[in-house]
Amino acid sequence: MDGTILVADDDRTIRAVLTQALTRAGCKVRATGSIETLWRWIDEGDGDVVISDVNLPDGDGLEMLPAIKRKRKDLPVIIISAQNTVITAIKASELGAYDYLPKPFDLKKLLSKVNKALSNQGTNNNIIQQDGAVDQELPLIGSSPLMQDVYRFLARVLHTDLSTIITGESGTGKDLLAHTMHDLGPRAPMDFVRINISSSNIDKIEGTLIGGKEDLNISPASKSSTIYFDEISEMSDETQLQLLDLLRSDAVISKNYRFISSSRLSLQNLISQGIIREDLFYRLNVVNINLPPLRDRVGDIPDLTKHFLQQSALSGMPKKVISAKAIQLLQNAPWAGNIRELENFINSLVVLISDEEITPIHVEENLNLIPSVNSNELDADNGKLSSSVEKHIKRYFDLHGDNLPPPGLYNRILKEIGWAAVAVDGFIPPNAFMEFQANNVLVIASDIRQLKHIEYTPVSYTHLTLPTILLV
């Protein structure tokens, strides 16, 4: 890299780390903890890229962006902030930031963005160039890295007309994200029209999009509205073809709708299986946003829990607080129903518990009441058993940190799952075979010999040639 980088951050350590890393990368660095100093450098024409914090002792890095754009419109500004919310990401994009990274940031990722900014001098990575205030009520909750990725992506597509598909398991917030894209975007004054694909036939869809179906008592959506197709994976073959023809029609195109769709299943997998038409998919999927399941963002559970408690109190329900240890138990729960299940669980605690504080005992007692299979949905892998087991084991290991393997894992698998399998390349001695059988272990061996007093079912051995142990 070759260029001068201006760094503004009130944290001396961050300034030192960035100065050292950028210098090693070949850049010249000027670092300050003051907005005033940063502006003087910019006014003097210094700097090829700016890295600025939001909150500085003498000003706000975000509020300074319009002035920077007026003074030097081609100067890339990368915003770094500990205010890791969707509002921060959206405001950064709306005010002209080149990019946005939440704190704590990945140094390699930041260096990569600086390098890209230096390589694209005279252009702006940001596709949103619109001033405007943003409602400060947070529509999405979470500061985890996965949610930060969602925020950054959302900020880039918010003010576009690009058709978008939101994927994610049931309960991850697909409907909320679709509403957020509408409410924070330029189409907010228009209608947000939700069409439930599973319960709507093509006549209802046509009546909503272009009218002419007075007998169905359907009012057509207004021009430039946002149309939200909920769960497009549930369309029949006939409905898919009819919808494709409808979307291609001049009557729909003239309405200037923005289309947002959602699916709890992997549409790419459904396309490969011939369940979803490829031409319909590419008409609706210009960009894709994937919402992570709650089990992959357990760090957001404390904020989500406190938010739900606040919302319940505002709605007139008893005001409650929750202990830190109780939150830890919530973080260890599977939450197959994701955020929706967590919200319902918190609301049930508020109603059922007479104490003001929710304790670990309250959480544990009520978690035991949740069925072990509390979601009948298929995940984004179309419900493959191997994927489900892999995700469960990974999460189980993650909860134990460096204390691996967890004590009693083998016996727990046998107890909870009921079986295991061992593939043996060669002959297994009878005593070992009987010990495996007594412990509910299936043995697959390449060499099958008749063993007295042992019940077994010979299997075709073709691919199992490695002496591996399979616990699934």
Residue 373 lies in a domain: no
Single residue among 290, 324, 345 that ends a domain in this structure: 290
Domain boundary among 97, 119, 141: 119
What value does the mean pLDDT of the chain take? Answer: 79
Q: Are residues 210 and 278 in the same domain?
A: yes
For residue 363, tell me if it sits in a domain: yes
* Alpha-carbon 335 to chain mean position: 15
135 found inside a domain = no
Question: Between β-strands 28-32 and 55-56, what pairing exists: parallel, antiparallel or unpaired?
Answer: unpaired
Determine, yes or no, domain membership for 183.
Answer: yes
Which one of 37-51, 186-200, 439-453 scores highest in mean pLDDT?
Answer: 37-51
What confidence tens digit (pLDDT) does each residue in 79-129 have?
Answer: 988 876 777 777 787 788 888 888 877 788 888 889 988 987 644 444 333
Tell me whether residue 376 is in a domain. Answer: no
- Tell whether 300 and 251 lie within a shared domain: no
- 171-179 mean pLDDT: 92
**Beta-strand relationship, 321-322 and 192-196:** unpaired
Same domain, 187 and 225: yes
Tell whether 280 and 300 lie within a shared domain: no
Rounded-to-integer distance, Cα 42 and Cα 45, Å: 5
Burial of 20 (0-12, 13-18, 19+ CB in 10 A): exposed
pLDDT at 374 over 80: no
Tell me the HSE value of 315 on the side-chain side, using a 13 A CA sphere: 11
What pLDDT is recorded for position 91? Answer: 78
Query: How many domains does the chain contain in total?
Result: 4
Tokens of 4: 């001068």
Q: Who wins on pLDDT, 383 or 249?
A: 249
Hunting for tokens 């197709």 — which residue is that? 229
**Is pLDDT above 60 for 400?**
no
The pLDDT-based confidence of 372 (bands split at 50, 70, 90) is low
Percent of the chain with pLDDT over 70: 73
Q: Is residue 153 part of a domain?
A: no
pLDDT score at 401: 53
Residue 249 lies in a domain: yes
C-alpha to C-alpha distance for 99 and 112, rounded to whole angstroms: 11
Same domain, 171 and 283: yes
pLDDT digits (tens, 9 = 90+) for 125-158: 443 333 333 333 456 788 788 887 888 788 788 8
Structure tokens at 88: 């921060």
Please report the pLDDT score of residue 63 as a whole number.
85
Q: Rounded to the nearest 10 degrees, what angle do helices 301-314 and 324-332 cross at?
A: 110
Residue 445, token pair as written in the block: 């061996």
CA–CA gap between residue 219 and residue 207 (Å, rounded):
7
pLDDT at 206 over 80: yes
Please count the other Cβ atoms lying within 10 Å of the Cβ belonging to residue 159. 19
What is the secondary structure of 326-352 as a DSSP string? HHHHHHHS--TTHHHHHHHHHHHHHHH
pLDDT in tens, 414-460: 555 555 555 555 566 666 666 666 666 666 655 555 444 444 444 43
Q: Which residues contact 259 (CB under 8 A, 6 or more apart)?
A: 163, 164, 226, 227, 229, 247, 284
What's the whole-number mean pLDDT along residues 388-400?
Answer: 56
Evaluate if residue 381 carries a pLDDT over 50.
Answer: no
Which pLDDT score is estimated for 109? 83
Residues 164 and 282 in one domain: yes
286 and 317: one domain?
no
Between 404 and 171, whose confidence is greater? 171
What percent of the chain stands above pLDDT 90? 35
CATH number at residue 181: 3.40.50.300
pLDDT at 442: 64
pLDDT band at 245 (very low <50, low <70, confident <90, very high): very high
The pLDDT of residue 102 is 82
Sequence-separated (6 or more) residues with CB below 8 Å from residue 303: 141, 142, 143
Mean pLDDT to the nearest integer, 224-251: 92
Give the model's pLDDT for residue 404: 57
**Does residue 372 lie in a domain region?**
no
The strand ranges marked E within 225-309 are 226-230, 258-263, 287-290
Global pTM? 0.58
| Same domain, yes or no: 108 and 197 | no
Q: What's the rounded mean pLDDT across residues 227-235?
A: 91
Asked if residue 103 and residue 49 are part of one domain, the reply reads: yes
Residues spanned by the domain of 447 = 408-470
Lowest average pLDDT, out of 50-54, 144-148, 172-176, 220-224, goes to: 144-148
| Distance of alpha carbon 342 from alpha carbon 293, whole angstroms | 12
CATH number of residue 320's parent domain? 1.10.8.60
Q: For 227, phi and psi rounded to 5 degrees?
A: -105, 125
Band of pLDDT at residue 184, cut at 50, 70 and 90: confident
Same domain, 64 and 10: yes
Give the pLDDT confidence of 57-74 residue by residue, as tens digits. Answer: 888 888 888 899 889 988
Q: Are residues 353 and 422 in the same domain?
A: no
Measured at the CA of 429, the angle between CA 424 and CA 433, to 5 degrees, comes to 70
Span 309-352, pLDDT tens digits: 988 888 888 899 999 999 999 999 989 999 999 999 999 999 88
Name the least confident of 153-157, 205-209, 216-220, 396-400: 396-400
Give the residue from 290, 314, 339 where a domain finishes: 290
Checking phi first, is residue 349 left (phi over 0); if not, alpha (psi -120 to 50) or beta? alpha
Q: Are residues 252 and 331 in the same domain?
A: no
Closest CA to 180 of 254, 263, 302, 89: 89
> CATH number, domain at 8?
3.40.50.2300
Backbone Cα Rg of the chain: 28
